[in-house]
């Protein structure tokens, strides 16, 4: 994951190594290389610029020039700033409802159905919850089948209604079923399309308004880089969602979406998907990710 970025940042920061004393020019050169590494990783230009300006300011403010090991201090400053950029503290999900309703949003192919299963499995095995999955894609019968397959795999019940073409009614019926059967979490998988379009946005907005979920999560394929960030903005403008799920991080070699998304939508990344299997889910910890990036 992000090998190229890690490599480039490592090179940029270690230019300072061996300098007993460094100059303002050394700091400027290093931050320039850091910025180049971020841009190569497909981080938004404005974010990369602001990031390196903050690093430079901090470095000069903390008197990097007079420390014994300037490269170590620079690594720490970059790590702290990366952590802040990706969200600071890690944030959990709200499970206080009875049932807690979690609405999934995002484009087709982003990994919503897979993640719905992963989250159900995570909440069942790690948080002792008793989830119900609800299939609200009324356009693709295969999507309903897929959720049933996932449910069987993890032994979690799935509610669907193939005759009903009204996703709001299906979502409400799913919640009613959970209440009747004692499921304390309801995860609602919705229809996505290949790109943001009005019909899909109206539909997810209608479901959102009707069921008032505790958590609205936006699922996005991290491999789509800047597109992921733009799609996140469109969904957030509409839904004011609670958190981002970054999927396919196992295939993302650049890292631009992971680094940029929080500062564009100002919402935390809550989980990451790291493979196709049901166990390939991790809580997102910004500081651990920064550690990984900087090696």
CA–CA distance, 52 with 32 (Å, rounded to integer): 7
User: Rounded to whole angstroms, what are the CA distances from 252 to 11, 41, 139, 220, 257?
Assistant: 21, 10, 29, 12, 9
Q: Compute φ and ψ for 166, nearest 5 degrees.
A: -110, 105
User: Which residue's CB atom is positioned nearest to ligand GDP?
Assistant: 273
Q: Decide whether 15 or 283 has the Cβ nearer to ligand GDP.
A: 283
User: Rounded to whole angstroms, what are the CA distances from 289 to 67, 258, 293?
Assistant: 27, 9, 6
248 is in an annotated binding site: yes
Residue 275 found at the interface with ligand GDP (CB under 6 A): yes
Task: Give the one residue of 114, 121, 216, 260 binding ligand GDP; rule: CB under 6 A.
Answer: 114
Task: Give the one residue of 26, 83, 113, 236 binding ligand GDP; rule: CB under 6 A.
Answer: 113
CA–CA distance, 155 with 144 (Å, rounded to integer): 16
CA–CA distance, 35 with 51 (Å, rounded to integer): 8
189 is in an annotated binding site: yes
CA–CA distance, 8 with 20 (Å, rounded to integer): 22
61 is in an annotated binding site: no
Closest of 282, 281, 267, 274 to residue 229, by C-alpha: 267
Task: Give the one residue of 87, 111, 174, 225 binding ligand GDP; rule: CB under 6 A.
Answer: 111
Q: Decide whether 64 or 191 has the Cβ nearer to ligand GDP.
A: 191
Q: How far is CA 136 from the centre of its chain?
A: 22
Q: Residues 187 to 216: which contact ligand GDP by CB under 6 A?
A: 192
125 is in an annotated binding site: no
Per DSSP, the chain holds a count of helices (H) and strands (E) of 11, 8
5-271-84 Cα angle (round to 5): 55
Beta strand segments in 190-230, E? 215-221
Task: Give the one residue of 50, 79, 109, 177 binding ligand GDP; rule: CB under 6 A.
Answer: 109
In angstroms, give the least distance from the CB of 115 to ligand GDP. 6
CA–CA distance, 115 with 273 (Å, rounded to integer): 7
CA–CA distance, 162 with 72 (Å, rounded to integer): 59
Task: Give the one residue of 169, 238, 280, 283 binding ligand GDP; rule: CB under 6 A.
Answer: 280
Task: Give the one residue of 248, 262, 267, 270 binding ligand GDP; rule: CB under 6 A.
Answer: 248
In angstroms, give the least distance from the CB of 56 to ligand GDP. 35
Q: Decide whether 19 or 277 has the Cβ nearer to ligand GDP.
A: 277
Q: Residues 87 to 106: which contact ligand GDP by CB under 6 A?
A: 106
251 is in an annotated binding site: no
Task: Give the one residue of 44, 71, 110, 260 binding ligand GDP; rule: CB under 6 A.
Answer: 110
In angstroms, give the least distance from the CB of 235 to ligand GDP. 13
226 is in an annotated binding site: no
Point out which residues bind ligand GDP (CB under 6 A).
Answer: 106, 108-114, 192, 247-248, 250-251, 273-276, 280
Binding residues: 106-113, 189-193, 247-250
Binding residues for GTP: 106-113, 189-193, 247-250
């Amino acid at each position: 994951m992000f090998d190229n970025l890690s490599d480039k940042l490592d090179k940029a920061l270690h230019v300072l190594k061996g300098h007993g004393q460094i100059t303002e020019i050394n700091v400027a050169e290093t931050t320039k290389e850091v910025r180049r590494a971020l841009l190569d990783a497909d981080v938004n230009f404005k974010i990369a610029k602001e990031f390196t300006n903050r690093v430079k300011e901090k470095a000069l403010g903390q008197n990097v020039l007079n420390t014994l090991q300037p490269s170590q201090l620079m690594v720490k400053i970059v790590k702290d700033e990366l952590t802040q950029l990706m969200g600071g503290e890690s944030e959990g999900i709200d499970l206080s409802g009875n049932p807690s309703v979690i609405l999934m949003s995002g484009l087709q192919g982003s990994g919503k159905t897979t993640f719905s299963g992963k989250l159900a499995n995570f909440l069942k095995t790690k948080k002792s919850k008793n989830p119900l999955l609800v299939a609200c894609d009324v356009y693709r019968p295969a999507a309903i089948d897929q959720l049933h397959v996932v449910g069987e795999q993890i032994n979690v019940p799935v509610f669907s209604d193939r005759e009903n073409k009204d996703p709001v009614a299906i979502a409400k019926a799913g919640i009613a079923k959970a209440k009747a059967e004692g499921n304390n979490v309801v995860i609602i998988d919705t229809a996505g399309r290949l790109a943001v379009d009005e019909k899909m946005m109206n539909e997810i907005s209608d479901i959102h308004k009707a069921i008032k979920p505790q958590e609205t999560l936006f699922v996005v394929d991290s491999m789509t880089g800047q597109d992921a960030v733009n799609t996140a903005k469109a969904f957030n403008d509409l839904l004011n969602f609670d958190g981002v799920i970054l999927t396919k991080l196992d295939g993302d070699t650049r890292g631009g979406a992971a680094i940029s998304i929080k500062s564009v939508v100002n919402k935390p990344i809550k989980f990451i998907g790291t493979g196709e299997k049901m166990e390939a889910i991790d809580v997102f910890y910004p500081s651990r990710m920064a550690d990984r990036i900087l090696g």
